[in-house]
Amino acid sequence: AQSVTQLDSHVSVSEGTPVLLRCNYSSSYSPSLFWYVQHPNKGLQLLLKYTSAATLVKGINGFEAEFKKSETSFHLTKPSAHMSDAAEYFCVVAIYNQGGKLIFGQGTELSVKP
Amino acid sequence: NAGVTQTPKFQVLKTGQSMTLQCAQDMNHEYMSWYRQDPGMGLRLIHYSVGAGITDQGEVPNGYNVSRSTTEDFPLRLLSAAPSQTSVYFCASSYSYSTSGIAGGELFFGEGSRLTVL
């Protein structure tokens, strides 16, 4: 069965330092994986997606993620955090043998200190 | 460009009351869905629709009804509200849906409806 686990419920970084949000997945099929971002009191927005093309995926606002099949991971990174990056981030896997339903991780709240 | 619009943004109900959360999209999207968001649990799918007249259950459908009479609208009805239904509800849509799933995996979300059941 497909599942997704975000390893940290909360990450705090200083502005200008790197960001690493960790995500592991479990899938019986070749997975499609996504990262969504949710700013306070807003809906979710797609940040980037992996759908079996390049393993290093670039998204909006300088974020990128690398698909590592051997480690079943899809960690989200950014070289230098900005105050506007403070938000909640969700790792998501698509269950294509169940009509493409999306399974959301529990979320990681990113705080950015000045 | 309005995108996905949800109303109301906030609502307080008493146990046993019924209400409808409204969702409308102006992007001519085939796929629409309702999620609930609870702390530490991510988002869970309640119901979804792949086109007008077609609906199906998601992961947590009990206590909720939906209908899809038009492409634009997908209301969520709480039949008899319970405190366990206190949550933030999100409507989301996508431009197409096939046997391989939501097109590109991209959902467009509304800003949410915060419901409290006393």
- Which of A41, A49, A95 lies at the smallest CB-CB distance from B104? A49
Lowest mean pLDDT among A21-30, A97-106, B14-23, B105-114: A97-106
**pLDDT tier at A53, thresholds 50, 70, 90:** confident
pLDDT digits (tens, 9 = 90+) for B103-118: 566 889 999 999 999 9
Chain B CB contacts of A102 below 8 Å: 45, 102, 105, 107
Residue from the list B44, B48, B105 with its beta carbon closest to the beta carbon of A32 = B105
Q: Which residues of chain A have a CB within 8 Å of the CB of B89? A: none
> In the prediction, which pLDDT does A29 show?
74
Q: Which residues from chain A sit within 8 angstroms of residue B99, using beta carbons?
A: 99
Q: Is the peptide bond prior to B61 cis by the omega test (within 30 degrees of 0)?
A: no
* CB-based contact A100 B100, cutoff 8 Å: yes
How far apart, in whole angstroms, are the C-alpha atoms of residue A57 and residue A76? 10
Write the DSSP symbol of residue B102.
E
> Quick one: what percent of chain B has pLDDT higher than 70?
91
> What per-residue confidence (pLDDT) applies to B2?
77
Separation of CA B69 from chain center? 15
